[in-house]
Amino acid sequence: MLLRHTHTEILPREALTVNPAKTCQPVGAMYASLGIHNCLPHSHGSQGCCAYHRSALTRHYREPVMAATSSFTEGSSVFGGQANLIQAIDNIFTTYDPDIIAVHTTCLSETIGDDLYQITNKAVKEGKVPPGKHVFHANTPSYVGSHVTGFANMTKAMALYFSKSTGVHNGRFNIIPGYVEPSDMSEIKRLAREMGIRPILFPDTSDVLNGPQTGKYKMFPQGGTPLEDLVSTGDSMGTIALGPLASADAARALDGKWHVPCRVEDLPIGLSATDRFIDALRKAAGVSVPDSITRERGQLLDIITDMHQYFYQKKVALAGDPDHLIPLVEFLVQIDMMPIHIVTGTSGKAFEKQIQALTAHLPCKVNVKAGGDMFMLHQWIKNDPVDLLMANTYGKYMAKDDDIPFVRFGFPILDRVGHSYFPTTCYRGGMRLLEKILDVLLDRMDRDAPEERFELVM
């Protein structure tokens, strides 16, 4: 394998990325669009771009991901894609009849400077958008940002385009879940409802990318945030944004446009981050935390207590998205593990400062890099080996090369199933996350144990 040639000498690299720890903005924008009921994502660029974005999501979720494209040719690349997009809008509403078309840009359309606001308005004036139907857009060039910022841009666009205010509170709360799995979105809704809160979760990919097998194909599954809920977000009593990078912009847009007060929290991964999320819900709605949720928290604590000796001072390497890694590092530190190599492909010095603060008391050097890549992570591991690697599927090559126990976490996961059905957020998700970590650590102990230490009961 080529990774076996990774060298330990770390040299400065400013203009070269090797094995990126991210993918491009349109993937995240397409994922966010799928979280609106009866919405068809549309890629304003070439067929190849759209095919890649659909393929990335389809392989991760094992579900058919539908999206349209402007199908740029050489002529579109020179003279602009206006004619292609207007024709596409007409074709889509005539043939597929979605309620909403969510247009995102690509490298090509951004480079030539297509004005999507002007183009979509022209489509409306020419009668290409039927009454009661909608077209909105987000700018998501692939040459900046990542799938997380693409998700954020599309989510902000839907908040600005659809939200309205009647001046009368609807008694509901907006929750922007961040770039998480459909299973996590279901879990976040469940906890809110358990506390007596009627949430408007947007976007919401539950029952879209983790629906049941019925034997019948539906282009637009039953899930997704209903249009009337999106419109009603301007009347909500408040907004809780989970994940500063993926969700904060949309929450602040609602605050700026309709004065819906917002609060930005970390993704509820692990104990303390979930505590903060529950406390934010409690304060925002003025309700008490029910015993059922307190019981789930106690179960998570019980697992930590029972299995602490297997976590203690195990060194961990991590790669993923900033919104995931910050609460995950906090959780690992709380259970006395030592995350010592942390890489995200998304740029941002604030991320590095937060990780450094969370790991400042560890008795070892901690490497952290925003805008880094998997090659850098592998070099760190070569120089200072770890007991556990947590990353997306691409981490399996490092795990195999260096014989490291490996937990798949984040996006994309291409070689396993379950992530779209079983959450890793909130207390129940924390229990599953600990189970996955324990499984690989204890499997390694069993594999390496001499016969006299091969225990029946751990």
Give the span between the Cα atoms of 441 and 407, in whole angstroms.
Answer: 10
> How does DSSP assign 360-406, residue by residue?
TTSSS--EEEET-BHHHHHHHHHHS--SEEEESGGGHHHHHHHT--E
Q: What is the mean pLDDT of the chain?
A: 95
110 & 208 share domain: no
Q: What is the pLDDT at residue 23?
A: 93
46 & 179 share domain: no
Note down the domain range covering 151. Answer: 25-162
44 & 101 share domain: yes
352 & 402 share domain: yes
143 & 265 share domain: no
Q: Place 457 in a pLDDT band, splitting at 50, 70 and 90.
A: confident
- Domain holding 123: CATH number? 3.40.50.1980
Task: Tell whether 105 is covered by a domain.
Answer: yes
Task: Tell whether 8 is covered by a domain.
Answer: yes
Task: Tell whether 122 is covered by a domain.
Answer: yes
Q: What is the pLDDT at residue 284?
A: 86
269 & 336 share domain: no
136 & 195 share domain: no
- DSSP H helix total and E strand total for the chain: 17, 13
pLDDT at 296 over 80: yes
Q: Please choose, from the candidates 391, 384, 330, 319, the residue with its C-alpha nearest in 3D space to the C-alpha of residue 355.
A: 330
% of the chain at pLDDT higher than 70: 99
Q: What is the pLDDT at residue 2?
A: 57
- For the residues 24-31, what does the mean pLDDT come to? 97
Task: Tell whether 349 is covered by a domain.
Answer: yes
Residue 64 DSSP symbol: P
40 & 123 share domain: yes
Q: What is the pLDDT at residue 76?
A: 79
Domain stops at, among 95, 128, 162? 162
The tens digit of pLDDT for each residue in 54-86 reads 999 999 999 999 999 999 988 777 778 999 999
pLDDT at 403 over 60: yes
Check: CB of residue 156 under 8 Å from CB of residue 250.
yes
Task: Tell whether 167 is covered by a domain.
Answer: no
Sequence-ordered strand ranges (E) for 120-209: 134-138, 173-176, 199-201
Residue 8 DSSP symbol: S
Domain stops at, among 106, 129, 162? 162
9 & 51 share domain: no
183 & 282 share domain: yes
Domain stops at, among 106, 133, 162? 162
147 & 115 share domain: yes
Between 429 and 286, the higher pLDDT residue: 429
pLDDT at 198 over 60: yes
Task: Tell whether 457 is covered by a domain.
Answer: no
Q: Please choose, from the candidates 27, 116, 119, 106, the residue with its C-alpha nearest in 3D space to the C-alpha of residue 72.
A: 106
- For the residues 214-223, what does the mean pLDDT come to? 92
The tens digit of pLDDT for each residue in 111-162 reads 999 999 999 999 999 999 999 999 999 999 999 999 999 999 999 999 999 9
Task: Tell whether 456 is covered by a domain.
Answer: no
Q: What is the pLDDT at residue 79?
A: 76
Task: Tell whether 20 is covered by a domain.
Answer: no
Q: What is the pLDDT at residue 101?
A: 98
Q: What is the pLDDT at residue 80?
A: 81
Q: Identify the weakest region by mean pLDDT among 221-225, 270-274, 346-350, 412-416.
A: 346-350
Q: What is the pLDDT at residue 349?
A: 87
Q: Residue 388: beta bridge partners?
A: 316
Q: What is the pLDDT at residue 240?
A: 97
- For the residues 295-306, what does the mean pLDDT come to? 97
How many domains would you assign to the chain? 3
275 & 190 share domain: yes
